[in-house]
Homo-oligomer: A and B are copies of this chain.
Amino acid sequence: MVKYGMKHVSTSMNSYISYMLAAAHHAVHQTLATRLKDHGMQVETWRILETLDSEQRLTMGELARIVLMNPPTLTKMVDRMVSQGLVHRQVDASDQRKVNLLLTDLGRKRMTEIRELVRVQDREILAQLDPQQVEVLNCVLRDLSDTAG
């Protein structure tokens, strides 16, 4: 349930695009995190599950870039997910340095449940905007994502 009537905090920071972006992300992330928490799931955990479902045979490094985490952080998060029975590791046959991550049945099941919550939030966000805004936003966010290496 989206909260309306939230009083906007006016601050000099609003003139910085990097801050505006951080603030928007913060707000959206917070609502999503709260919703997923009710189902015992973190946003980052869900991202990993979702990514593994669609791209097969991902290595830790590739996954780390996609889910926006540093490798050591991902390693530890995956450790936890393994002990929760959501994923399992498999050493790559053709390159033994690489580790492929695979969803377990439980992992896929949990992912599917959570996916719906994320889609609900997505629809709520998009409903606030008009179609042109959505198009521009998508385009701009894609540009910005490629800003840094």
Contacts and interface: CB of A to CB of B under 8 A. Distances in A.
Interface of A: 2-3, 6, 8-9, 11-14, 16-32, 34, 47, 50-51, 53-55, 65-68, 118-119, 121-122, 125-126, 128-129, 132-133, 136-149
Nearest to A136: B136
A145 B14 CA distance: 11
B148 A17 contact: no
B18 A122 contact: yes
Contact of A141 (B6, B24, B146): B24
B147 A18 contact: no
A51 B13 contact: yes
A21 B16 contact: no
